[in-house]
Amino acid sequence: MPLRIIFMGTPAYAVPTLQALHEAGHEIVAVYSQPPRPAGRRGLELKPSPVHEAAEGLGIPVFTPKSLKSDEEQAAFKALEADAAVVVAYGLLLPKPVLDAPRLGAWNGHASLLPRWRGAAPIQRAIMAGDTTTGVMIMQMDVGLDTGPVALTQTVDISASMTTGELHDTLAGVTAKLMTDAMARLERGELPVRVQPEQGVSYAAKISKEETRVDFTRTALDVHNHIRGLAPAPGAWFELQTGDRAERVKLLASGVVAGGAQGEVPGTVLDEQLTIACGEGAVRLLRLQKAGGKPLSAQDFLRGTPVAPGAVIG
């Protein structure tokens, strides 16, 4: 028989999993998502999350509590009498009474090869660290931060030019397929779990505003990984002096230049193709975006904003 599932998720990343479970015939008795957020130019509108909107489109009741810590919220969750809870990028910690409520437990689709990159930003952190492999794990949740036993795993290669946006979309599809497989096995009583290794633990802290600015004193490879790890959002950036003001420019794509630069001050523009000296080597900026503008190739960017060789950016 199909499972009675409570689905818990918020961003676009989680939508394919919700849709896949629904298409597989499971009874999604409720969806939990983060509360609607201010949107629009003035922030006067409240916009539901992508998961919220998808659930409404499927005719599934949606709940958006700010917290699950109260006795009332926990009682309401338990009253749904779910067989399982499926959690994908929900954004709230689940207290033990919530984890214990579903008959067959709570299951999380996590976008890393645990125990590497536990936490909030595993996709960005993997690319920023220069990892060449990541993946998705289906994990039975406990009260720790991504510490529960793992049921299913699928690895995914990270190419040298792949951005967080590209990897995000790939892993979202993998998560949907793997979670659907996991719930089918759980339904049959054939979903064994294994304890996570104690070695190799790392944490994927949420991306802070302070770390998004590009530091050209780092190696070219580090700078390149930083740029692609934050693309398209929140976006790595630098300041460009235009006239008497400094203008912020977001970087969306780059490449490491063979040979690099010798003895140049980091941040120096080396040529008319936006090759920039780094602490070691050089990067070529390939796609840029001014505040309020649209993304442009380096060639198109330079047509509207000349940047002379010898200038220093940062």
CATH at residue 283? 3.10.25.10
> pLDDT of the chain along its 314 residues, tens only?
799 999 999 999 999 999 999 999 999 999 999 999 887 666 678 899 999 999 999 999 999 999 999 999 999 999 999 999 999 999 998 999 999 999 999 999 999 999 999 999 999 999 999 999 999 999 999 999 999 999 999 999 999 999 999 999 999 999 999 999 999 999 999 999 999 999 999 999 999 999 999 999 999 999 999 999 999 999 999 999 877 788 899 999 999 998 767 778 999 999 999 999 999 999 999 999 998 899 999 999 999 999 999 999 98
**pTM, to two decimals:** 0.94
Query: Does 112 appear as a known binding residue?
Result: yes
Question: Quick check: 120 and 105 in contact, CB under 8 A?
Answer: no
Known binding residue 286? Answer is: no
Domain end among 183, 203, 223? 203
Q: What is the largest CA-CA distance in the chain?
A: 69
Name residue, tokens 């920039």.
Answer: 276
- Minimal CA–CA distance to 273: which of 260, 264, 286? 286
Residue 313 located in a structural domain: no
Do 132 and 243 share a domain, yes or no? Answer: no
Which residue, 170, 203, 236, sits at the end of a domain? 203
Whether residue 277 lies inside any domain: the answer is yes
Is 65 annotated as belonging to a binding site? no
Q: What is the CATH number of the domain that holds 70?
A: 3.40.50.170
Q: Within this chain, do residues 164 and 278 fall inside the same structural domain, yes or no?
A: no
Number of domains, the chain: 2
Query: Any long-range contacts for 50-56 (C-beta under 8 Å, 24+ apart)?
Result: 50/10, 50/11, 50/12, 50/14, 50/15, 51/7, 51/9, 51/10, 51/11, 51/14, 51/15, 51/18, 52/10, 54/15, 54/18, 54/19, 55/7, 55/18, 55/28, 55/31
> 257, 277 in Cβ contact below 8 A?
no
d(CA 26, CA 64) in angstroms, rounded, equals: 22
- Do the annotations mark residue 102 as ligand-binding? no
